[in-house]
Every structure is written in structure tokens, then in C-alpha cells.
Chains A and B, each alone.
Chain A
Amino acid sequence: DQQVKQNSPSLSVQEGRISILNCDYTNSMFDYFLWYKKYPAEGPTFLISISSIKDKNEDGRFTVFLNKSAKHLSLHIVPSQPGDSAVYFCAASTSGGGADGLTFGKGTHLIIQP
């Protein structure tokens, strides 16, 4: 049973436009959410996170929104750049971002078209 779901395996966006990646979760015990970015032949790299006490966190071009009642979060990238082409993983934790294991979604392959 997948507790973290990314229902779009891929997403194509034009350069300069907004990219919106979605993630749903089923475990109401999750209290911390993260997004990771992965290039081919590399490990995932941490992008941005949000605690369940917040509904928005922003870092430069990246903003994560959390809707706890809907058990939904999204990552907005604006403006999208060619270097943003990668696989994006949504992850969740029941105990903060460090000590315990993260549960990952299967990822969304974002393709930024020139």
C-alpha cells in the first residue's frame, strides 16, 4: 500500500512557465514533508521541506504548499529553467526530517522544453 503517491509519472512544461508537481499521502501521522530532485546516475538531492504546522514554504523559485485536510502537497517552480529537468520525489516522515526513515513517492519526471 503506497502511503505517498505521485500520480503523474511525467510532466512537460515550457521554459519560463510554472511547473506544478503534486503529491498525495494517506498516513495522517506524517508531520514533515520533503521534495528531492534526482538527475540520472546521481543520488536524490534535498530541495525543500515543510512542517505540518505550516501551509507554505518558499525558497527562491521553489515553493511547497501543504493542504493537510486534503492530505495533499505540491511543489511550484517558477520560472522553470532547463536545469530543472529531473525526477522529483515527494517524501514524508512521522518524526521530522532527520532521525527516522522517509517514505517516498515513485517520482515525477519533469521535462522543461525550450
Chain B
Amino acid sequence: DAGVIQSPRHEVTEMGQEVTLRCKPISGHNSLFWYRQTMMRGLELLIYFNNNVPIDDSGMPEDRFSAKMPNASFSTLKIQPSEPRDSAVYFCASSLAGWDGGYTFGSGTRLTVV
């Protein structure tokens, strides 16, 4: 199993540009989560999906952030327009609901907005 795959690993963009982060969950997992890690706030849950349906997006900081999961094997997190304060590491994770082993995280995307 290749695990949760995130791309790109690193992204540097200018303020005002659109940024799209991508995630491929583990095959068979039916829950997908987007987290953001910063020094100040630690790991924050942004949004999660169950069976491709967004369940809770209360952690999305602003309307500039949006996430989609068009099918069970792909999700995107988009920031438009990006701002320097969006600089962080963004993690995607997936899990099988009902299993007590927790999530499997991807390696993250380090986003730098200049």
C-alpha cells in the first residue's frame, strides 16, 4: 500500500495566487481529513469527508479556502487568493470509519506564500 499521497510536497507562491493541494487517500478508506499545522496553532482540522461527502467544514478559516472530493480516490484543497498567513504545512489523512487505529497521514505539503 502506497499510503496517503499528497502533492506537491513543497509549494512557493506569490500572494494573491491560487493554490491547489492534492490528496489521494488509501484505497478502501471512507473518511478523509485536511489538517493544517502551524507553530502557533498546532494541528488544526480544516474539513473532513465521509464517503466523499463534506461533513464538517467549520475549521476552514475563510471563504478563500475550499475543498472537494469528487470521488473516493481524490481530494483537493484550494486557497484563492492566497495570503502570507496561509503559510503552513497542510496534511491530508484518511481512515476507515469504525476502526480504532486512527488515521493514516500523508507526508504533507509545505506551503509558503510570499
A104 and B102 contact, Cβ closer than 8 Å, known pairs A43-B91, A43-B108, A98-B31: no
Write out the residue numbers on chain A whose beta carbons fall within 8 Å of the beta carbon of B103: 46, 98, 102
Does B114 sit within 8 A of A, measured CB to CB?
Answer: no
**Residue of A89, A101, A105 with most partner-chain B CB within 10 A:** A101
Is there contact, CB below 8 Å, between B107 and A89?
A: no
Write out the residue numbers on chain B whose beta carbons fall within 8 Å of the beta carbon of A97: 95, 99-102
A50 to chain B, nearest CB (A): 9
Does A42 sit within 8 A of B, measured CB to CB?
Answer: yes
Interface segment out of the listed B12-20, B42-50, B64-72, B76-84: B42-50
Known: A45-B105, A98-B103. 15 other contacts (CB 8 A): A36-B105, A43-B91, A44-B105, A46-B103, A49-B100, A91-B102, A98-B99, A98-B100, A99-B50, A100-B55, A100-B56, A102-B103, A104-B44, A105-B42, A106-B41
Q: Report A's interface with B, CB cutoff 8 A.
A: 32, 34, 36, 41-46, 49, 51, 89, 91, 96-107
Give me the 4 closest cross-chain CB pairs, A-B, nearest first. Answer: A43-B105, A106-B42, A46-B102, A99-B97
What is the total number of residues of chain B having a CB less than 8 Å from a CB of chain A? Answer: 30
Identify which of B35, B59, B107 contacts A41 (C-beta below 8 A): B107
Is there contact, CB below 8 Å, between A43 and B107?
A: yes
B33 to chain A, nearest CB (A): 6
- Within the assembled complex, what's the spacing in Å between the Cα atoms of A111 and B44? 24
Is there contact, CB below 8 Å, between B93 and A99?
A: no
Write out the residue numbers on chain A whose beta carbons fall within 8 Å of the beta carbon of B50: 99
The chain A residue sitting closest to B100, CB to CB, is A97
Write out the residue numbers on chain A whose beta carbons fall within 8 Å of the beta carbon of B55: 100
Write out the residue numbers on chain B whose beta carbons fall within 8 Å of the beta carbon of A96: 98, 100
- Within the assembled complex, what's the spacing in Å between the Cα atoms of A45 and B15? 32
